[in-house]
Amino acid sequence: MIRIGIMSFAHLHAYSYAHCVNSLPGVELTAIWDDDKNRGKEASEKYNTRFVENLDDFLGLPIDGVIITSENANHKRMVEECASAKKWILCEKPLATTIEDSISMVNTCRREKVGLGIAFPCRFIPAIERARDYIGSGKLGTILAISCTNNGTYPGGWFSEVSLSGGGATMDHTVHVVDVLRWMLNKEFEWVYCDLGNQMHKGVFDTDDIGVLQLEMEDEIQVSHIASWSRPKSFPTWGDVTMEIVGTKGVLYVDAFNQKLNVYSDAVMKAEWAFWGENPDLALIEDFVHSIEEKRDPLSTGVDGVRSVEVTVYAYESAKAQKKVKIKRNKV
């Protein structure tokens, strides 16, 4: 039996992860801790587990791994507390709000000899996996350029509070695409130019709700990316994640969330997506469980988390300076 704990239900993805843990044979959602007592108790009742109010008591339980789904700015403290307690860790993205914090987290987990993974479920989407295999086969030829989007709905709450989130839509939605492209192409990002602003939520919050990025990867691969909270509240999911990949032998279009049926329901008075096919969140949690059993890092490692944070942080620096910025890769 692999025993999993969840720290904080501040992030909306926590609920999906808890459901996935409960659906896996040989895996137990042992306990939940949350600094919001009422939220933690409600989640524990929903997922049929115990709520532990005291963090030391939570970390003292015979838990094998912990999923951290707190506000972004709290990731560092929670990861390092879990590492000191010798727990395997799956941390919600972004790994941290600063490059320095992300590197510190990786070093702490190495020192404590525990695995550290980042919640990048897009790696487990069948369309993304097939695209990676297709590119790797050489059928697309030499990759020249990629156009990407990750447009979603404003999540509300702390996501627009920079002290907790580290940034707006650019922080929230860039890291997924950065991680997927690094994984698919096995290349790093070298330059970024970013323009961002608040276009759709003026008067609601001051952080960016759209970021337009022009990036360059190794071998001069040109990447354009739009990250936004441009979708209405009725939009069926948190993002769209599309990519048009241009190679010397053809063009490959990827719509990561297209394994769905459009459902028009009078019960909720909005359109919904009924997904069919694989569940990337479930695959993410399965990989985390296997990493505990095999004493290895999950598929998306702490170093992968650092690299995506670097690109995002430099994007904000570019927007502030209004110029192209070199992405400096730190030794990790």
Q: Which pLDDT does position 300 carry in this prediction?
A: 97
125-158 per-residue burial string, b: 16 or more CB within 10 A, e: under 16: bebbbebbebbeeeebeebeebbbbbbbbbbeeb
Task: Check whether 100 has a pLDDT greater than 80.
Answer: yes
Domains of the chain in sequence order: 2-121+282-301 (3.40.50.720), 122-278+309-326 (3.30.360.10)
pLDDT surpasses 80 at 184: yes
pLDDT of residue 236: 77
pLDDT at 271 over 80: no
Per-residue pLDDT of 209-268, as tens digits, reads: 999 999 999 999 999 999 999 998 878 777 789 999 999 999 999 999 888 788 887 887
* Predicted confidence (pLDDT) at residue 115 exceeds the cutoff of 80: yes
Is the pLDDT score of 274 beyond 90?
A: no
| pLDDT at position 269 over 80 | no
Distance between CA atoms of 203 and 132, rounded to whole angstroms? Answer: 41
Contact call for residues 242 and 233 (beta carbons, < 8 A): no
pLDDT value at residue 237: 75
Sheet holding 250-255, edge to edge: 250-255, 242-247, 143-153, 222-231, 210-217, 189-197, 325-326
The pLDDT of residue 197:
96
Q: Give the full edge-to-edge strand order of the sheet including 27-33.
A: 50-51, 27-33, 2-7, 65-68, 88-92, 116-119
CB 219 within 8 A of CB 117: no
CA dihedral 1, 84, 74, 305 (to 10 degrees): -80
Cα separation values, 25 from 2, 21, 29, 191, 322, Å = 9, 9, 11, 44, 51
* pLDDT confidence of residue 145: 98
For residues 201-206, give the mean pLDDT: 92
Please tell me the least confidently modeled range out of 106-110, 207-211, 233-237, 285-289. 233-237
Percent of the chain with pLDDT over 70: 100
User: Is residue 324 pLDDT above 80, yes or no?
Assistant: yes
pLDDT for 138: 97
| pLDDT at residue 31, as a whole number | 98
Q: For residue 68, is pLDDT > 80?
A: yes
pLDDT of 106: 98
Token output for 104: 């510190």
- C-beta atoms surrounding 169 within 10 Å: 31
Kindly report the pTM of this predicted structure.
0.95
**Residue 240 corresponds to which tokens in the numbers above?**
């769209």
The pLDDT assigned to 259 comes to: 83
50 vs 40: CA distance, rounded Å: 9
Whether the pLDDT of residue 109 is over 80: the answer is yes
